[in-house]
Amino acid sequence: MLVVKKFGGSSVADKERIFNVANIVTEEYRKGNDVVVVLSAMGKTTNNLIAMAEDINPKAPKREMDMLLATGEQVSVALLAMALHSMGIPSISLNAFQVAMHTTSTYSNAKFKRIDSERIMNELDQRKIVIVTGFQGINKNDDLTTLGRGGSDTTAVALAAALHADECEIYTDVEGVYTADPRVVPDSRKLKEITYDEMLELATLGAKVLHNRSVELAKKFGVQLVVRSSLVEAEGTVVLEEAKMESMLVSGVAVDKNAARIAIVGVKDEPGVAFKIFNMLAKANINVDIILQGIGRDGTKDISFTVPEDQLDDALAVLDENKGRFDAQKIEHDAGVAKLSIVGAGMQTHPGVAAGMFEALYNVGVNIRMIGTSEIRVTILINEDDCDKAMRAVHAKFFS
């Protein structure tokens, strides 16, 4: 059996944790299995590297940022290999270049194109534990790229798919996927299983447990994932195509504070305006989410939408550069907003879920600023200050 095990930054934060990981992977190895390990950078390493870069040059070239950030994962993989060697377990660490993990060229947000499996397979054949850097790849110029924050999960899933692994386990510092962030909602519950679609919505909507692209890839290649703790031995959460139990009405509540609202006020009420605006945002790689268009009056209308807060400046710059093309009266923005979402496959067949959410918010006096829906989720935009109380109220509505 071939097993991929990924450990996040907190699971390799210090010497003791590294040896803890060494023990977990050794146990798997001793069962006679082939073990591929993917690691994140130790603890807060990536944040620290970003801070160092900002101190030197706040507008550092993205290529050099990736060159810098890719070092974090090289430290952790080398140290784990050393730990295993000290225990007499054959192992080897490999970076993205040595494996040859090919990505697109977009620095800081690269996507996997192809992974060569030869080197890893050769090392496994020699009965070594193979430890691979998460989060990084190489582009067509052989430059290092990174996959976006939290991207090591995606490395693990991509490797599991490329190597046709039998299992892909994501070890973290929580015991699995919860119905809400346990730090905000103390009575949140661990889920036994969750579908790819639900997990994808939750991951995209701010549940930090998995990188959303890792879930996308897992769904695409049918890689079943297990999210579990590296610190406590407990059953984790299985992420799979179809839940074995009857799907829950709501399986999770997520909050995304990294949201900002842009309103384009007084554009002409004529065909092509929305196309122009959203096309130029798309070309600039801005992720637009909830879109609201008001009813036109006097030949003009308003269009508002949300973007990730860390893309707000870029979005405003794009709109400003092109303002001659859509002729708005003014452009407003507000970064003090957050998205609150409920996700559940059961919503498709049960009416009244959105109403239940709105009732819970009404009861605690939270005002809803925008509403967006998909088949399996309802997302609302609220003031960031209302977040915690809104999350608790909505969670209580569906889970108690």
- Contact residues for Mg ion (CB under 5 A)? 8, 150
- How many Å is the Cα radius of gyration of the chain? 23
Residue from 63, 149, 189, 208 touching ligand ASP (CB under 6 A): that is 149
* Contact status: 9 vs ligand ASP (CB under 6 A): yes
Strands (E), 71-204: 91-94, 101-103, 112-115, 129-133, 136-138, 144-146, 167-172, 193-195
43 binds, among Mg ion, ligand ASP, none (CB under 5 to 8 A by kind): none
For the bound state, the minimum distance from the C-beta of residue 366 to Mg ion, rounded and expressed in Å, comes to 29
* Contact status: 46 vs ligand ASP (CB under 6 A): yes
Cα(54)–Cα(224) distance, integer angstroms: 38
Residue from 134, 206, 252, 344 touching ligand ASP (CB under 6 A): that is 134
Nearer to ligand ASP, 155 or 306 (CB): 155
For the bound state, the minimum distance from the C-beta of residue 40 to ligand ASP, rounded and expressed in Å, comes to 3
Nearer to Mg ion, 74 or 154 (CB): 154
Binding segment for ligand ASP (CB under 6 A), chosen from 150-158, 201-209, 352-360, 361-369, is: 150-158
For the bound state, the minimum distance from the C-beta of residue 153 to Mg ion, rounded and expressed in Å, comes to 6
Pairing of strands 34-39, 129-133: parallel
Residue from 11, 95, 139, 152 touching ligand ASP (CB under 6 A): that is 152
Residues contacting residue 55 through CB under 8 Å, at least 6 positions apart: none
46, 9 Cβ separation under 8 angstroms: yes
Q: CA–CA distance from 115 to each of 2, 34, 166, 186, 354 (Å)? A: 16, 18, 17, 41, 42
Question: How many other C-beta atoms lie within 10 A of the C-beta of residue 300?
Answer: 17
Cα(142)–Cα(33) distance, integer angstroms: 32
Residue from 4, 12, 25, 41 touching ligand ASP (CB under 6 A): that is 41
72 binds, among Mg ion, ligand ASP, none (CB under 5 to 8 A by kind): ligand ASP
Nearer to Mg ion, 8 or 252 (CB): 8
Residue from 11, 40, 145, 179 touching ligand ASP (CB under 6 A): that is 40
For the bound state, the minimum distance from the C-beta of residue 226 to ligand ASP, rounded and expressed in Å, comes to 17
Taking each helix axis from N to C end, the angle separating 15-30 and 62-86, rounded to the nearest 10 degrees, works out to: 60
Q: Is the dihedral of CA 156, 157, 161, 165 positive or negative?
A: positive
93 binds, among Mg ion, ligand ASP, none (CB under 5 to 8 A by kind): none
DSSP string, 29-54: HHTT-EEEEEE--STTHHHHHHHHHH
* Contact status: 135 vs ligand ASP (CB under 6 A): yes
Residue tagged 């059953």 (tokens): 235
What sections of 284-352 are H helices per DSSP? 312-321
9 binds, among ligand ASP, Mg ion, none (CB under 5 to 8 A by kind): ligand ASP
Question: How many other C-beta atoms lie within 10 A of the C-beta of residue 383?
Answer: 14
Nearer to ligand ASP, 124 or 144 (CB): 144
β-partners of residue 129 are: 91
* Contact status: 178 vs ligand ASP (CB under 6 A): no
Please give the residues from 61 up to 90 whose contact with ligand ASP meets the rule CB under 6 A. 72
Cα(134)–Cα(37) distance, integer angstroms: 9
Nearer to ligand ASP, 52 or 282 (CB): 52
Nearer to ligand ASP, 24 or 210 (CB): 210
Cα(154)–Cα(165) distance, integer angstroms: 14
For the bound state, the minimum distance from the C-beta of residue 6 to ligand ASP, rounded and expressed in Å, comes to 8
Residue tagged 């710059």 (tokens): 317
Binding segment for ligand ASP (CB under 6 A), chosen from 143-151, 228-236, 331-339, 382-390, is: 143-151
* Contact status: 151 vs ligand ASP (CB under 6 A): yes
Binding segment for ligand ASP (CB under 6 A), chosen from 54-62, 144-152, 245-253, 266-274, is: 144-152
**Residues contributing to the site for ligand ASP (CB under 6 A):** 8-9, 40-41, 46, 72, 134-135, 149-152
